[in-house]
Amino acid sequence: MTTRKTKGLIIIHEIIYIDFEKDNVKHKRNKKYVCTISLFLFLLILNKIFHFMKTIVLVFTMLVLSFNLCFSQSKEEESKEKVNKQSVLIFKNTVYDYGTINKGDDGTAIFQFKNITKDNVQLTNVKASCGCTDTDWSREPIKKKKTGEIKVKYDTNIVGKFHKIIYVYIDKLENPLKLEIKGEVINPTI
């Protein structure tokens, strides 16, 4: 409907313009009038176009916002599920700081955890980020509400600062949990 009115306005504008051009002498004093009508019609056409564009932009914005709202709700639900899934084990601490230790000292760290689910949980693998760290864990399933531990031993014959990640793979999770060890090994003879 807007298109028909707009086309009609364009046709009227052309007729007035053509009439003005045909009889140049007669309408000289009406030149301002014709220019004013032309400008008015032009502005009216722009108004219709902008009104149509505003409507399109408004509808598009509403669609984007409603899709956003729908997807954000589903993401919140997914994140709640992930939190529940990642709450399979609770560790007393996830970072073990050795501080400063001497070369050759015992580099064992123990990470204690508790199974907080109603089911048994199985640690499928525990890997360190490098070969300088050994891991030991129970291969038996951890029963509900029971505790367990992961032993990590860093090679303290390597002098210097260190920061290592230990990845704990659990049968109920897609992504591993991360534990960290850090500290500095010094050579006391220097």
pLDDT in tens, 12-39: 444 444 444 444 444 444 555 555 666 5
Distance CA 125, CA 64 (A): 44
Give the 3-state secondary structure of residue 8: helix
Q: What pLDDT is attached to residue 124?
A: 92
Q: What is the pTM of this model?
A: 0.54
* Strand arrangement of the beta sheet that strand 95-102 belongs to: 95-102, 177-186, 160-170, 123-128
CB 88 within 8 A of CB 172: yes
Count each helix (H run) and each strand (E run) in the chain, helices first.
2, 8
Q: Per CATH, which fold does 89-186 belong to?
A: Immunoglobulin-like (2.60.40)
Q: In terms of pLDDT, which residue wins out, 188 or 46? A: 188
Q: Check whether 53 has a pLDDT greater than 80.
A: no
Compute the average pLDDT of residues 61-73: 59
Q: Are strands 95-102 and 147-154 parallel, antiparallel or unpaired?
A: unpaired
Average confidence (pLDDT) over 115-136: 91
Confidence of residue 99 (pLDDT cuts 50, 70, 90): very high
Check pLDDT > 80 for residue 74: no
User: Once rounded to an integer, what is the mean pLDDT over residues 76-82?
Assistant: 41
Task: Please provide the average confidence, as pLDDT, over all residues in the chain.
Answer: 74
* pLDDT band of 171, cuts 50, 70, 90: confident
* Burial class of residue 83 (count of CB atoms within 10 Å of its CB; 0-12, 13-18, 19+): exposed
> What integer pLDDT is reported at residue 161 of this predicted model?
95
> Nearest-5° angle of CA 121, CA 182, CA 160?
145
- Angstrom distance (rounded) from CA 48 to CA 56: 12
Note the pLDDT of residue 149: 93
